[in-house]
Amino acid sequence: MWITHVQNNCAMPITANGTAIAPGQSLDVDYVWTGVSVQVPGIGQIQALEAGDENPGPHAWAVKLVTGVWSAYWGYDGTPTMTLTVYASGGKYYFSVTGGPTQIQIQQAQVDIAAATLRFQIATQERDNHQTQLDRLQAHRK
């Protein structure tokens, strides 16, 4: 079990497990079995999850860090604090973990991408259905 220290070095608020973190502020998130989810509005999310059987070693435990399709591990022993810093550079948003991965571009979760694709497909179908109905009405009026 670990504590996640989330540091917001962005110019906009972010959230960690639903708690807002103002620009320049930080928040310590205690371990929960569902992990830690950091949301960067309009950009994407970072998930920190207990790695369990995926632990690549050499530490007794590992946190699996995920953003979009990217993932990596941060190993630990005992009950440490993992510092996760979110920041912007050159118009893109990144995160780094002290003693772990650095300069990782934040991405949308694959679930978010799939949901957006489905919403687009539904909207397109609804538009096509409305157009068909309009075409029928106009043909009936002629």
Instruction: Looking at the structure, tell me whether residues 69 and 139 fall in a common domain.
Output: no
**Other CB atoms closer than 10 Å to residue 91's CB: what's the count?**
5
DSSP state of 106: P
CB 44 within 8 A of CB 106: yes
- Same domain assignment for residues 16 and 65: yes
SS3 per residue for 69-96: CEEEEEEECCCCEEEEEEEEECCEEEEE
As for how many domains the chain has, the answer is 2
Write the pLDDT tens digit of every residue in 11-68: 999 999 999 999 999 999 998 888 999 999 999 999 999 888 787 777 888 899 999 8
Shared domain for 78 and 102, answered yes or no, is yes
**Are both 102 and 131 inside the same structural domain?**
no
Domain containing residue 121: 110-142
Q: What is the pTM of this model?
A: 0.74
